[in-house]
Each structure stands twice: as structure tokens, then as C-alpha cells.
């Protein structure tokens, strides 16, 4: 006996679930994108900026990410898996031809340059205590 026509159309239109390795690759790519995202604090990650500044083209070894960032380590420590995931799913991060390094497609801050927020930050230390004047009494 055939199932009702409405059941057949519902099952035919439902997308097949992604294989586990594809889900993992997407998670790895999202994590790598987050490291390079200015919205997530890249401008303040001086370690990462210094690593990028060491190479004149801004490349950072994938091994530095897999050995340093625990959230990426929890997903994988395999550089080839990270490179494949970034190539497939990350738009703002590129992988070197040898698959060993990554860099942002956008220009990063130079750690030696002052941060744009530093120009509008006021640092105040040891303000004198407020003393009552004769008028305030």
C-alpha cells in the first residue's frame, strides 16, 4: 500500500541532512572566520596581529591556530582539515597554496600603529578627592 500523496511530497521536498564531516567543516570555517573578524575582537587580539605582521604578506601558520586556540582544538588539530574547511566555507579568510597558512582577505591593523580607539580614549588616574567648599556647606 502506497503512503498518501501528501506524505510523499513532504518527504521529497525535505533536504537531506548534511554528513557529519560537512557539519564539522562548517564549524571549523566559522571558528576561523571569527578569529579574523573585526566584529569579534581581531583589532584587540595582539597575538594574532603580531603573528600576521611577522610575514610581509600577512600569512599565519594554521599550526599556530590549532596549537593556541582551544575552541579550534576541540574541533580538530589537523591542519589539512582546517585548510579544506576554510577553502570551502570561509569568504574573508584565504589559504596558501601549500595549505599550511591562512590570512585575512581584508587589511589587518599593524600592531605598531596606534589603534583608532586610542585617539578618542581618555585615561585618568588619581583624581583629587572632592572637597566641600564653603558654598556647598
pLDDT in tens, 94-117: 999 999 999 988 876 665 666 666
Alpha-carbon distances, residue 137 vs 40, 73, 129 (angstroms): 50, 63, 16
Within 10 Å of residue 73's Cβ, how many Cβ atoms?
A: 12
Q: pLDDT (tens digit, 9 = 90+) per residue, 39-50? A: 665 666 778 888
Interacting residues of 105 by C-beta distance below 8 A, sequence separation 6+: 91, 92, 93, 94
> The CATH number of 18-120 is which of 3.40.630.30, 1.10.10.10, 1.10.3720.10, 3.50.50.60?
1.10.10.10
Mean pLDDT, residues 20-24: 87
> Quick one: what percent of the chain has pLDDT higher than 70?
71
Reported as half-sphere exposure (CB side, CA atoms, 13 A), residue 89 has a value of 18
Task: Work out whether the CA dihedral 37, 43, 48, 52 comes out positive or negative.
Answer: positive
Amino acid at each position: 500500500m502506497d503512503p498518501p500523496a501528501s506524505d510523499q511530497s513532504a518527504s521529497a521536498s525535505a533536504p537531506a541532512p548534511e554528513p557529519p564531516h560537512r557539519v564539522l567543516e562548517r564549524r571549523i570555517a566559522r571558528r576561523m572566520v571569527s578569529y579574523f573578524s573585526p566584529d569579534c575582537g581581531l583589532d584587540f587580539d595582539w597575538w594574532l596581529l603580531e603573528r600576521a605582521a611577522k610575514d610581509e604578506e600577512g600569512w599565519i601558520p594554521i599550526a599556530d591556530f590549532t596549537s593556541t586556540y582551544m575552541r579550534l582544538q576541540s574541533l580538530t588539530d589537523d591542519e589539512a582539515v582546517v585548510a579544506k574547511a576554510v577553502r570551502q566555507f570561509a569568504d574573508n579568510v584565504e589559504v596558501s597554496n601549500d595549505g599550511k597558512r591562512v590570512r585575512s582577505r581584508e587589511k589587518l591593523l599593524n600592531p605598531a600603529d596606534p589603534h583608532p580607539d586610542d585617539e578618542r580614549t581618555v585615561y585618568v588616574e588619581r583624581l583629587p578627592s572632592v572637597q566641600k567648599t564653603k558654598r556647598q556647606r
